[in-house]
Amino acid sequence: MLVVTQISNPNITLKSARLRIWRGTSLENGRYEEFDVAFEDGDSVLDGLVRLRYSVAPDLAFQFSCFNANVCKECVMMIDGKADYACIAKLKTGLTQLDPIPEQRVLRDLLVDTQECDRRGATLRHQILSIR
Amino acid sequence: MEVPSVLRTNVLVVGGGAAGMFAAIYAARHGAQVILLDKNTVGRGGATVMAQMTCASALGEIEADSPELHLRDTLDAGRGLCNEKLATLLCDGSPQLIRELVSWNVDWARQHNGKINQVTAPGHSRKRCVYVDYLRTGAAICEALRLQVSRDSGIRVLNNVCVTDIVTRGGELIGAVGFDIATSGLLIVQANAVILCSGGMMKMFQRTTAPNNNSGDGLGMALRAGAQLIDIEFLQFYPNGHLAPRMVGLDPTTWEPTRVKLGGRLINGEGEEFLSKYDADGGEGYTTTRDLLTHAIYREVAAGRGSPHGGVYLSFQHIPAAEIRRALGPVLDIFARNNIDLTKRPVEVFPIAHYQMGGIEVNARMETQIPGLYAAGEIVGGANGANRLSGNALPEAMVFGACAGERAGKSIKNKPVPSWPAHIGAPHLDIIRRVRERRKAKGQAPTHMLGELKEIMWKKVGAFRTADGLIEARKRISTMRHAELDELTIPPETIHNTSLVEWFELRSGLQAAEAVAVAGLNRRESRGAHQRLDFPETCDDYRTNQRIWLADGEISSSFKRCLS
């Protein structure tokens, strides 16, 4: 597993992904920012986001906890227009667009407010994602 | 000037994993009003939800067993340093809570005859570990506990709150302060009791299984409030952490139950099995406890016999494909998504930071030295001594959480919630204000310092330590703590400011990290999970426990045998 802060193995071929990420605190008031991130085949979108947070974009807001196991269900977002878990979706060369999930109040960047759903005990993230 | 929100309750539980949720349930059961909060979402954000397979409990459903036997195995694994009272509590209390979870609809895997299935795990002398299925044990426990918590009108749940300090008056706890992460708004919680269930500090290692929140918050808060840590140098490095190829969708610890269940072979870069060189019991290494496995793998790699990514191979190629499929079932599909075909190729594994054996010192009632301050779960030190048995972490969280909740709930009896004299919380709130309002020119962000700290801990305070490495680590961490932390840039966001949270994680995490470096330096021997390359023998003089506390902001320590 790659360490978060550096890619240190000289034997591995590195590729570059461009992430186009929605940023802002309300849908009316945001912009897209693009970042290039180095990756190894198999790395997840979440790996890329964490790598950005530990380097050039330390205040990029997204939610995650378990990092690898796809069990906390916190990292759901729109990836190229389709809802998915960032920890499972894989990085690819070329452009990948990341947006917050729709119809929820945006808190910041890729973070949405799920308190209402959490209070009702609903599993919004599970409803959006009928797979996995 | 902003007025803080003020909440009043009998019991504040900090951290919403198994320990925190059990603490809240049991405190409420004993009549307390409870606030249960978490930096993320209660019941989703910590380590419990990730737990795979093993939960040790001397139920005796498959073969004769007893809590006394479980205790003996725990004490053996702990290499002479267990707090025997805490270990006894863990072993005695586990069966009852497993059964309570049955009543809360946790569907433990069962035999055809209806008995709860129990399997063995390294270090256990009996088939003792229960599970829900191959992947979901932690998630199933969390789901059941979330439901119980949500049904209890005595428990108020708050998500996305960062508690920053315990507040005391005359040496007694009166509550805590922090901020609402969504708004950066200041928060005061006036309480009769606080139960710290915020988990371990293992996020502070570059290569770790820890979830993002386990940064040592509670350790720092406890130290600053005047409590003591015990045996904090004992941090567990899981031997078979997944290394390569990149695997997502499964926890990196998945290989231990897989290896044990199927009989995987550990092979070095030269194609040889090597465990028997290091373990007297050797055999095929299935009973080798974690510290010996970690040692063996590190040694092979250090000797230049590692795999391409710097680990060792774990191979299942000698096992018939049909047997692999039968044993692993749907997990194979997750492997396939990650281009892992166990019939064709081995994976690479290497030790990975995993769990904190040491921690806050408590008595058998989960009380710290500060009246009103309790701790439960991974954050507590002593139950598992120098090395934890596989499967003991879930019972530790559950049993200690229930115990702390019950004790805190009972101790409240008719006591009013303390009101705070004017301005008593001011120094603690001022720290949040100061950090929040910082508008520095571009400089280092908290994640940059976090990255450096994780690298220092991994390289110099990791599974194998030396005096030079520990001294360098301590020096650098001390500089970061005293001189650089206050120079970090915090962007001027009020809404969900992750840098603000990370600053406070560093404030406590640096204290915890320095404590580990100091403790590791002081313990001039190798025992269990603490391995010194310069002191490779276990030494009877050190069959004793080490306490750490803060004196004028500096890490201080002393050795004294824990009177169990």
Walk along chain A (132 residues) and give the pLDDT tens digit of each residue: 334 444 456 567 789 999 999 999 888 889 999 999 999 888 999 999 999 999 999 999 998 998 888 888 889 999 999 999 999 999 999 999 999 998 888 989 999 887 655 544 444 443 444 333
pTM: 0.94
Give the nearest chain B residue to A66 (CA atoms): B211
Which range has the worst mean pLDDT, B11-15, B294-298, B506-510? B294-298
pLDDT in tens, B542-560: 999 999 999 999 999 999 8
Global ipTM: 0.91
**pLDDT value, residue A126:** 39
Q: How far is A109 from chain B (nearest CA, A)?
A: 10
- Mean pLDDT, residues B23-34: 97
pLDDT in tens, B371-401: 999 999 999 999 999 999 989 999 999 999 9
**pLDDT value, residue A117:** 53
- Mean pLDDT, residues B70-94: 97
- Cα separation, B453 vs B434, whole angstroms: 23
**pLDDT value, residue B281:** 55
Which residues of chain A neighbour B247 with C-beta distances below 8 Å?
1, 42, 68
Which of B447, B457, B497 best probes binding to A when mutated, by most A CB atoms within 10 angstroms?
A: B447
**pLDDT value, residue B439:** 66
Which residues of chain B from 473 to 492 reach within 8 Å of chain A, CB to CB? 491
Token pair of A32 as six digits: 């897209």
Judge whether B384 and B74 are in contact, CB under 8 Å. yes
- Cα separation, A3 vs B205, whole angstroms: 10
Q: Which candidate, B22, B458, B428, places its Cα nearest to that of B220?
A: B428
Token pair of B57 as six digits: 């409990």
- Cα separation, B416 vs B404, whole angstroms: 19
CA torsion sign for B489, B494, B497, B501 is positive
**pLDDT value, residue B260:** 75
Tell me which DSSP letter residue B483 carries.
I
Q: Using the beta-carbon criterion (under 8 Å), do A9 and B448 form an inter-chain contact?
A: no
**pLDDT value, residue A131:** 33
Find the CB nearest A66 among B50, B159, B246.
B50
Q: Using the beta-carbon criterion (under 8 Å), do B249 and A67 form an inter-chain contact?
A: no
- Mean pLDDT, residues B60-66: 95
At B170, which amino acid appears? G
DSSP helix/strand/coil, B485 = helix
Q: Does B247 touch chain A (CB under 8 A)?
A: yes
pLDDT in tens, B110-157: 999 999 999 988 889 999 999 998 778 999 999 999 999 999 999 999
Q: Which candidate, B109, B110, B104, B116, places its Cα nearest to that of B142?
A: B104
- Cα separation, B62 vs B115, whole angstroms: 8
**pLDDT value, residue A7:** 46
Q: Which candidate, B516, B249, B531, places its Cα nearest to that of A88?
A: B249
- Cα separation, A11 vs A5, whole angstroms: 18
Pairing mode of beta strands A82-85, A76-79:
antiparallel
- Mean pLDDT, residues B270-275: 91
Task: Band the pLDDT of B250: cuts 50, 70, 90.
Answer: confident
Alpha helix positions (H), B104-209 = 137-151
Name B1's Cβ contacts closer than 8 Å, sequence gap at least 6: none
- Cα separation, B543 vs B385, whole angstroms: 11
Following CA atoms B55, B195, B26, B16 in sequence, which dihedral angle do they give, to the nearest 10 degrees? Answer: -60
Between A107 and B564, the more confident residue is A107
For chain B, what is the mean pLDDT? 93
Q: Using the beta-carbon criterion (under 8 Å), do B159 and A59 form an inter-chain contact?
A: no
Tell me which DSSP letter residue A74 carries.
-
Task: Band the pLDDT of B254: cuts 50, 70, 90.
Answer: confident
Following CA atoms A84, A90, A95, A97 in sequence, which dihedral angle do they give, to the nearest 10 degrees? Answer: 20
Q: Using the beta-carbon criterion (under 8 Å), do A65 and B242 form an inter-chain contact?
A: no
- Mean pLDDT, residues B74-99: 97
pLDDT in tens, A2-36: 344 444 565 677 899 999 999 998 888 899 999 99
**pLDDT value, residue B331:** 86
- The residue count of chain B comes to 564
- Sole residue written with tokens 């008031």: A29
**pLDDT value, residue A130:** 36
Judge whether B496 and B180 are in contact, CB under 8 Å. no
Q: Which candidate, B339, B345, B139, B348, places its Cα nearest to that of A90?
A: B339
Beta bridge mates, A16: A38
Which of A3, A44, A72, A125 best probes binding to B when mutated, by most B CB atoms within 10 angstroms?
A: A72
Which of A40, A43, A52, A71 best probes binding to B when mutated, by most B CB atoms within 10 angstroms?
A: A71
Q: Which candidate, B342, B289, B405, B512, places its Cα nearest to that of B13?
A: B405
DSSP helix/strand/coil, A39 = strand
Give the nearest chain A residue to B243 (CA atoms): A1
Which residues of chain B neighbour A75 with C-beta distances below 8 Å?
none
Asked whether residue B204 carries a pLDDT value surpassing 80, the answer given is yes
Which range has the worst mean pLDDT, B104-108, B247-251, B412-416? B247-251
Backbone angles phi, psi at B263, to 5 degrees: 85, 45
Pairing mode of beta strands B5-14, B185-196:
parallel
- Cα separation, B545 vs B523, whole angstroms: 10
Task: Band the pLDDT of B283: cuts 50, 70, 90.
Answer: very low
Q: Which candidate, B141, B143, B146, B176, places its Cα nearest to that of B161?
A: B176
Q: Does B250 touch chain A (CB under 8 A)?
A: yes
Q: Using the beta-carbon criterion (under 8 Å), do A5 and B499 form an inter-chain contact?
A: no
Find the CB nearest A68 among B182, B251, B458.
B251
Q: Which candidate, B486, B474, B538, places its Cα nearest to that of B512?
A: B474
**pLDDT value, residue B280:** 53
Q: How far is A110 from chain B (nearest CA, A)?
A: 11
Name B114's Cβ contacts closer than 8 Å, sequence gap at least 6: none
Asked whether residue B507 carries a pLDDT value surpassing 70, the answer given is yes
